[in-house]
Amino acid sequence: MRVITGSARGRTLETLAGNDVRPTVDRVKEAVFSIIQFELEGRRVLDLFGGSGQLAIEALSRGAASATILDNSRRSIDVIRRNLQTTKLADRAVVLEADALAFVRNNRSTFDIAFLDPPYGSGLLQKVLPDLANRMAAGGVIVCESPVGEDLPDPIGAYRLYRTYRYGKTQITVYRDTDI
C-alpha cells in the first residue's frame, strides 16, 4: 500500500495484518481520488474509520488543509500515527481513538470531505450517515466504501446520493450537498 501522488508520493504505508482490517486497494483509492480531485485543495477531511489512515493521508498529500482520523482500535491508531510520521504529514492531522457514532453526535467541528470505510456488514454506514450530514460544511462531499449491493440511505439531511461506482466487489457511494 502506497501514497499515489502529492507531497508523500510513493511512500509505503503500514497496515495491520489479519482479517480485522481491509485496506482500500490502490485501484479503488485511485478511483476515489479521481472523483474528488478538484475538491481537495485546502479542505478539512474526516476519515471516520481510519484503519491505516491511508485515505486521509492521500488527501493530505494532495493538498487538503487538515485531517481528523478516527478509529476505535488502539493498534490502528498506532499504525496511523506511524504512517503520518513516515509521510511527514502529522502536523496537519488529528488522530483520535473514538467511536465513530459518538464522535459525529458530540463533536461540533465541520468537515468538507468525509471518508467512511467501516467493516463490511457492520451496519455502521446506515447508523452514522444521518448524523454525519449535520457535521458537513456547505458544499461538502461524503464518500462511502461498502460491498456491492449494500443499501444506503438517501437522502441524508441536505445530502443526496450523487452516484455509485462499482469496482469488483466494492462499491463507492458519493453523497453531495443539495442545498448549494
Residue 142 is part of a domain; what is its CATH number? 3.40.50.150
Lowest mean pLDDT among 25-29, 59-63, 67-71, 103-107: 25-29
- The model carries a pTM of 0.93
Any domain includes 50: yes
Alpha-carbon dihedral 89, 93, 99, 104, rounded to 10 degrees: -140
List pLDDT tens digits, range 130-149: 999 999 999 999 999 999 99
Any domain includes 87: yes
Any domain includes 147: yes
Any domain includes 16: no
Any domain includes 122: yes
The parent domain of residue 56 ranges over 26-177
* Cβ-based burial of 45 (10 A; exposed 0-12, middle 13-18, buried ≥19): buried
pLDDT of 117 reads 93
- Cell triple for 14: 503500514
Any domain includes 46: yes
Per DSSP, helices labelled H in the chain are 26-35, 54-61, 74-87, 100-106, 124-132
Q: How many CB atoms lie within 10 A of CB 68?
A: 21
For every residue of 104-119, DSSP letters joined together read HHH----EEEEEE-PP
Any domain includes 132: yes
- Residue reference for cell 478539512: 44
State how many domains the chain has. Answer: 1
- Cell triple for 35: 472523483
The residue length of the chain stands at 180
List pLDDT tens digits, range 157-173: 999 999 999 999 999 99
Separation between Cα atoms, residue 151 and residue 24, nearest integer Å: 20
Any domain includes 18: no
Residue 97 has pLDDT above 90, yes or no: yes
> Of the candidates 51, 58, 52, which has an alpha carbon nearest to the alpha carbon of residue 30?
58
